[in-house]
Amino acid sequence: MVVERGRVAWVGSEGAADAFADGVDEVVPLDGALVTPAFTDAHVHLTATGLALTGLDLSGARGLIEALDLVRAHAAARPGDRVLLGHGWDAGDWPEGRPPSRAELDAATGGRPLYLSRVDAHSAVVTGALLDRVPGVTALAGFRDDGPLTEDAHHAVRRAALAAVTPGSRADAQRAARAHAASRGIGSLHECAGPDISGEDDFTGLLALAAAEPGPRVVGYWAEPVANAKGAERIRSLGAAGAAGDLFVDGSLGSHTAHLHEPYADAPHTGAAHLGADEVAAHVTACTEAGLQAGFHAIGDAALSTVVAGVRAAAGKLGLDRVRAARHRVEHAEMLTPETIAAFAELALTASVQPAFDAAWGGEEGMYAQRLGAERARTLNPYAALLRAGVPLAFGSDSPVTPFDPWGTVRAAAFHRTVGHRVTVRGAFTAHTRGGWRAAGRDDAGVLVPGAPADYAVWESGDLVVQTPDERVAAWSTDPRSGTPGLPELLPGGPLPVCLRTVVGGRTVHTRPNE
């Protein structure tokens, strides 16, 4: 492969490549390594990821006592922090079955402000000192006197906590997150920001940093409702590619805030609805008229019904072709039905999904089954049905909810806990490379062909095979005569490829130490 001015200029045989060797600036011998397009992570929160990488990470805590010990040690090690930040607790797997109380956190921090988000980032436990920074928080929806905060109360305390992060610390976190992504072979990141998530200074600062410093590309989405052309122009003025990402129609299953048609199996309610169909329709209509991509966060079946009803209403007003051409997107899209899948295909909605969610919370005894019961849980994340219907898929991590792990993500989709939802390794790989570019409106990238951006990764891997999830896939696809390219074997429990080098726009942004 020959790269020139940031793009792939030529791809061919090794013998023919020798003719180029004398006229290039650098020759990279592969020594048998695999080269693939760089991955695109289609849903991330980079500042939060960087803060988790450099700060308090509770994802490995095995119980309440260990979590409190980690909080105590973190507080002692960061005496100058105005607000202590942590992420990743999941009390569902702890012996105590509950998160830390406010009194326990007050004691562990010595009364300092502390914000600890749950693994899904849709609820948090905090200290009294942080609540004191948010006047009126006790009157907001989702406030609990001594339990995790959700909905508006959670958004308010998160804004207060992140406001205490200095610009320098924020930039350091963003650099750490981009460097970590590059080390995993990721060349593009879709930042899903918004006023309830990170703030304008965080968003514009991240885009400026990504433009000025080497590393993975950053495509920014700003989750704010748009009512007219003026609102759309404001979104563009921030540097956003669209008014999409985490524009919340509902919350999450883990925090009992995803909006369901029927009550939770372990709670006597149906979650939280943040937007109605009329509001969805108004947003999609205004964005489509302005030539701006729209999108929503929707997880529960009721939330997804709301999205479909709203987008369909916009199509009825503007015409189906205009809405389809805009490539609006839906983040997470977990509790789909055959009817909503068909509507996604009809409306050309991209499903921006996270296979690692199924790996973490699927199965007969996982969190999904606890929240919904086993029967409903088995319907979640139906990737095979989406692909059969022609729905575009883009894979991501929602980092820091799940980590940057692209080959693990491909494996999670190919070996979905529900067998009927599995897709081929090739299909999953495409969703995590070309699919992310298409979700951002680019059809010329995510592949290594002449003219495409030279975004690629070099991997140390085992044998290359054509891997299918089960015997339902036609035998011809695994026959060498089919010409289907091989990819690393990703059997569960086996080793994953190791990234040796990541290149973005022809520029090396990661090299594995000692390589």
Three-class SS of 145-208 = CCCCECHHHHHHHHHHHHHCCCHHHHHHHHHHHHHHHHCCCEEEEEEEECCCCCCHHHHHHHHH
Query: How many residues appear in the chain?
Result: 515
Question: Is 3.30.300.30 the CATH classification of the domain at 47-163?
Answer: no
Tokens describing residue 42:
């289609």
**83-97, 356-370, 418-432: which range is least confident on average?**
83-97
Q: Is 183 exposed, middle or buried (0-12, 13-18, 19+ CB in 10 A)?
A: middle
**Locus of tokens 């960087």:** 50
Which ranges in the chain are annotated with CATH 3.10.310.70?
A: 47-163
Sheet holding 84-89, edge to edge: 56-57, 84-89, 114-118, 124-126
Residue 1 pLDDT class (50, 70, 90 cuts): very high
Distances (CA, A) of 347 to 309, 324, 427: 11, 5, 22
pLDDT of residue 479 exceeding 60, the answer is no
β-pair type (293-298, 329-332): parallel
Residue 475 pLDDT class (50, 70, 90 cuts): very low
Which ranges in the chain are annotated with CATH 2.30.40?
A: 2-19+31-44+449-465+477-511
Report, at the CATH architecture level, how domain 186-440 is classified: Alpha-Beta Barrel (3.20)
Instruction: Read off the pLDDT of residues 213-260 as tens digits, 9 standing for 90 and up.
Output: 999 999 999 999 999 999 999 999 999 999 999 999 999 999 999 999
Residue 476 pLDDT class (50, 70, 90 cuts): very low
pLDDT of residue 468 exceeding 80, the answer is no
Residue 481 pLDDT class (50, 70, 90 cuts): low
Residue 403 pLDDT class (50, 70, 90 cuts): very high
Q: What angle do CA 263, 266, 268 make, to 5 degrees?
A: 45
User: Which pLDDT score, from 0 to 100, does residue 474 have?
Assistant: 46
User: Which pLDDT score, from 0 to 100, does residue 93 have?
Assistant: 85
Tokens describing residue 442:
């680019």
Which ranges in the chain are annotated with CATH 3.20.20.140?
A: 186-440
Residue 384 pLDDT class (50, 70, 90 cuts): very high
Count how many Cα atoms sit within 13 Å of the Cα of residue 162 in the half-sphere of its side chain: 30
pLDDT of residue 270 exceeding 70, the answer is yes
Residue among 405, 410, 510, 411 nearest 457 (CA): 510
pLDDT of residue 188 exceeding 70, the answer is yes
pLDDT (mean) for 12-34: 88
Averaged pLDDT score across all residues of the chain: 94
Question: Is 3.40.630 the CATH classification of the domain at 2-19+31-44+449-465+477-511?
Answer: no
| Phi (first) and psi of residue 151, to 5 degrees | 50, -135
pLDDT (mean) for 121-138: 94
Bigger pLDDT: 483 or 314? 314
Distance separating alpha carbons of residues 290 and 149, to the nearest angstrom:
36
Instruction: Read off the pLDDT of residues 57-95 as tens digits, 9 standing for 90 and up.
Output: 998 999 999 999 999 999 999 999 999 999 999 998 899
Distance separating alpha carbons of residues 87 and 308, to the nearest angstrom:
32
